[in-house]
Structure 1
Amino acid sequence: MLLLLDEFPKLGSLPFLENAMGEMAGYGITAHLICQSFNDVFSKYGDKTPLFDNMHITATFATSEPTSIEKVTRRAGKALEMRESYSDPRSLFGRAHRSTSQSEQQRYILSEEDVRGLDDRKQFLFVNNTKPILADKIRYYEEPFFKARTGDYFHGVPAAYEQRPGAADLPGPASIDWRGVRAVCAPPEPFAGVRVPKPRYSGADGPAEVPGAPEAVLAADYLTMAPVAALRADDDDGSL
């Protein structure tokens, strides 16, 4: 089973996840955690978190955040290289003989500029028991296998929904999650399985309050993907 958590630091600190990372593989669970930077994780779990210790594969991309750059360069490790040094002493009577010496020096495989200036189509892969890998990104919307199944949603295809001017960019949280969007056009055969409860009337005061009735109406319009013609855009409480 794959446990995929995109932007998982936004969920806050999850102690049970932090403690179970080392035991998940024994139960057939593979965790795929996605975050923006190392600091994004440290802000919720602290800089001593063992989350990264249990990662078999780590994929990183270009970044300008100093902490992430340092972590990537350190994870890539160091290499030995031979360096020459020259000595050109001067004597009282003129120039003396130059001497040359060689020595082994350690340096980081990746420099800060290598991480900061990484090409947008490249990524670094760090796999346990394997040297660092410079790999090509796989963009699913450019692969023929996936394009044949998903369509090209990035170049010229109209959006399925659009915002209504009367409900767009209103201050404060929306009372209804799907309010502010409507279908561009209705499908040929609207879904007819949604039953919308009819509001009960109480005398001359208008419709009585039925808990959940406006939400049910909006849910029906959302599921059928039909234009919301019965709702007024300037009506804040969503009543009919």
Structure 2
Amino acid sequence: MILHVIYKAKHGGNAATLAEVDAVLADPVRPAQEVWEEMLTFGHLPGGKNHPVVGKAARAQLNRPDDEGGSVLSTAQSYLELYQDPVVASNTATSDFLIRDLMNSERPVSLYIITQPTDKDRLRPLVRVMLNMMVRILAPKQEFEEGRVVQSYKHRALFMIDEFPSLGKLGIIQESLAFAAGYGLKFYLICQDTNQLRSRETGYGPDELITSNAHIQNAYPPNRVETAEHLSKLTGQTTVLKEQITKSTGRGGGGFFGGTVSKTVQETQRPLLTPDECMRMPGPKKTPDGDISEAGDMLIYVAGYPMIYGRQPLYFQDPTFSARAKIPAPDRSDTIRGNHAPKPPEGGRRIKL
């Protein structure tokens, strides 16, 4: 259906958007049967030929029993309900940049995707679509020259995703973490607890690969024993010396008391930080107003190196980060391609296939 809407836009139809796809499927006047028949007979390709992918999908839908076909249609509509919102429909109708521009523009660019807490759940599907597209498009087929990978981008990309588990399971990110570095992609994922990642219902399950491919992990004092046990295992083992003193006393001749003292030293193994010690790491100190006045402790794990026990860096105590935080938000977003795009036709926009 998406492919059909794109080709219709090329032939003078409405703009090719997800809102338009929803409008076609949920048309209150036009029967669904007519939509499938149009997809089957429309001339998408030069010479009036029908696109084979669109035609096969339409024929498959026509061949389904009414109950099954209705179920497929309702499922598709449920994923497109978000785009019935006029604000969402308007903001997803046009784009002034290509995803490839994020790594191939003349100058490095920053893209901010921000949702309000009240809209987080409702807009989650849209954010998931954006991230999915970015990872797939920015990690193209690699080319080699003299046995080495040829760099296909101008700038590297950093994906900094706060509250990462709230997006639900994103299989593409879990799979791409292992090879993303070869395409210039780096991920900085922030979550409140490892149990969010390992949830069977909303996360990646107990066998998740997110932490396995996270070569650097920063952790603050945890609140759950399971997380503390995970951090304790990451710290590794250490050897401590345990001294034992044994005394024995006895009555000797002449009424004098005598005795012996023996000392033994044993080497025992223990975690470098026990789960209890992880949970009791000092946290940041705060003023009565709730502002942080002193940094707390943290753990830094780098693959291949011993765990680092450090102090949290406070951005407002760092001159560089403090200056950056004071930069006001821009009144409007910059555009990369908007000024160079040809004027769209009335009621639609130009689509390049």
User: What range is the shorter-chain TM-score in?
Assistant: 0.5 to 0.7
Question: How many residues in Structure 1 have an aligned counterpart in Structure 2?
Answer: 156
* Alignment partners' CA distance in 1, 2:258 and 2:276: 40
Larger RCO: Structure 1 or Structure 2 (Cα < 8 Å, ≥ 6 residues apart)? 2
Distance (Å, rounded) in 2 between the aligned partners of 1:116 and 1:152: 36
Provide the residue aligned with 2:265 in structure 1.
102
State whether residues 7 and 36 of structure 1, in contact with CA within 8 Å, keep that contact through their aligned partners in structure 2. Answer: yes
Q: Is the 8 A contact 1:123 1:136 kept in 2?
A: yes
Q: 1:136 and 2:292 equivalent?
A: no
- Match in the other structure for 1:196: none
1:16 equivalent in structure 2: 172
Q: 2: CA distance between counterparts of 1:41 and 1:91?
A: 63
**Partner residue in 1 for 2:55:** none
Q: CA deviation at 1:103?
A: 1.8
Distance 1:149 1:49, change over 3 A: closer
RMSD value over aligned CA atoms?
2.9
- Answering whether residue 195 of structure 2 is matched by residue 36 of structure 1, we say no
**1:170-209 equivalences in 2 (<5 Å):** none
Taking the aligned partners of 1:18 and 1:95, their CA distance within structure 2 comes to 71
* Contact 2:216 2:303 (C-alpha < 8 Å) held by counterparts: yes
Structure 1 or 2: more helix by fraction: 2
CA distance in 1, matches of 2:204, 2:251: 64
Deviations 1:21-50 (A, max 9, x none): 111111111111110011111111112212
Q: Write the letter of the residue equivalent to 1:35.
A: C
Structure 2 CA distance for aligned equivalents of residues 152 and 21 of structure 1: 32
Q: How does 1:61-210 map to 2 (within 5 A)?
A: 61-88=220-247, 97-119=260-282, 120=284, 121=295, 122-151=297-326
Q: CA deviation at 1:10?
A: 0.7
Unaligned runs of 5+ in 1: 154-159, 161-189, 192-240
Q: Taking structure 1 as reference, are residues 95 and 63 closer, same or farther at Cα in structure 2, changes over 3 Å only?
A: farther
TM-score by length of 2: 0.40
Contact map agreement 2:240 2:267 (CA 8 A) in 1: yes
Summarize the Cα distance change of 1:152–1:29 in structure 2 as closer, same or farther, 3 Å threshold.
closer
Amino acid in the other structure paired with 1:32: Y
- Aligned counterparts of 1:89 and 1:47: Cα–Cα separation in 2: 54
Tell me how far apart the structure 2 counterparts of residues 91 and 48 of structure 1 sit (CA, whole Å): 62
CA distance in 1, matches of 2:174, 2:258: 66
Is the deviation greater in 68-77 or in 106-115?
106-115
Provide TM-score, normalisation by structure 1: 0.57
Structure 2 stretches of 5 or more lacking a match?
Answer: 1-156, 285-294, 333-353
Instruction: Tell me the secondary structure at the aligned position of residue 53 of structure 1.
Output: coil
The separation in 2 between residues aligned to 1:71 and 1:92, in whole angstroms, is 55
Q: Pick closer, same or farther for the CA change 1:41–1:92 going to 2, 3 Å.
A: farther
Q: In the alignment, residue 2 of structure 1 is paired with which amino acid?
A: L
Does residue 47 in structure 1 map to residue 206 in structure 2?
A: yes
- Contact 2:242–2:265, Cα closer than 8 Å, also in 1: yes
- Residues 5/88 of structure 1: CA separation in 2 closer, same or farther (3 Å cut): same
* Secondary structure at 2:198 match in 1: helix
Distance in 1 (alpha carbons) for counterparts of 2:241 and 2:260: 23
Q: Indicate the residue corresponding to 1:25 in structure 2.
A: 181
Contact 1:141 1:152 in 2 (8 A): no
Instruction: Measure the CA separation in 2 of the matches of 1:146 and 1:23.
Output: 30
CA contact (8 A) 2:232 2:272 kept: yes
Distance verdict in 2 for CA 1:55–1:32, change over 3 Å: same
Using the TM superposition, name which of 76-85 and 136-145 deviates more: 136-145
Residues in 2 aligned to 1:151 and 1:5: alpha-carbon distance in whole angstroms: 21
> How many angstroms does 1:90 deviate by?
7.6
